[in-house]
Amino acid sequence: MKILFVCTHNRCRSILAEAMANQLGDGMISATSAGSAPAGEVHPMTLQALKSRGVPVKGLHSKSWDNLDSLIPDVVITVCDNAAGEECPLWLGEALKAHWGLADPSSLEGSKEEKMQAFDDTMNSLATRINGLVGLLKQQADKNQVQIYLNSWHSKN
């Protein structure tokens, strides 16, 4: 299953989701991420948080969805509320779509420890969602079952 994770700036949540899905996907998921207005760089604490969990960071970079027009994803998941409200490019038309609204750990005010806890909380949430999706794929769930599962996380943080 090819998944595109979208967040407006593609520097934190979507990058976390991409890296974690590729690690946890058990060979069943190929993930990438992009943004409508990419920041051009990955937030340093995103990379630090991933490394602290042993998640590979090689090749992660902030990119525009405009540069992915050859990608034909099976699923598009927005992870920030701004991206959820944006109109997706036409080439994403056939993909299953879902919104997993996650708080932005990079915008938290507080100590470094509090910020790292926010990153950890976001990664825990993503791990739960991704592991559930992998379980469905192992059960050979159909598109309807996958869509229901993806949508079940819409209002949960």
Query: Which of the residues 3, 6, 7, 31 is marked catalytic?
Result: 7
pTM score, whole prediction: 0.91
Percent of the chain with pLDDT over 90: 68
- What is the pLDDT at residue 86? 55
Single-letter amino acid, residue 40: G
Is the pLDDT at 139 greater than 60? The verdict is yes
Q: Active site includes 88? A: yes
Query: Which of the residues 45, 88, 96, 141 is marked catalytic?
Result: 88
Single-letter amino acid, residue 111: S
Q: Active site includes 80? A: yes
- What is the pLDDT at residue 92? 65
Q: Active site includes 7? A: yes
Is the pLDDT at 37 greater than 90? The verdict is no
- What is the pLDDT at residue 133? 97
- The full 3-state SS of the chain, as one line of letters, equals CEEEEECCCCCCHHHHHHHHHHHHCCCCCEEEEEECCCCCCCCHHHHHHHHHCCCCCCCCCCCEHHHHCCCCCCEEEECCHHHHCCCCCHHHCCCEEEECCCCCHHHCCCCHHHHHHHHHHHHHHHHHHHHHHHHHHHCCCCHHHHHHHHHCCCCCC
**pLDDT-derived band of residue 8, with 50, 70 and 90 as boundaries?**
confident
**pLDDT-derived band of residue 157, with 50, 70 and 90 as boundaries?**
very low
What are the pLDDT digits (tens) for 55-90?
Answer: 999 999 999 988 887 888 999 999 986 654 555 555
Class of the CATH domain delimited by 2-151: alpha beta
Name the least confident of 8-12, 43-47, 78-82, 85-89.
85-89
What are the pLDDT digits (tens) for 94-117?
Answer: 889 999 989 899 888 889 999 999
Q: What are phi and psi of 78, to 5 degrees?
A: -85, 140
CA 54 distance to own-chain centroid: 17
- What is the pLDDT at residue 131? 97
- What is the pLDDT at residue 70? 85
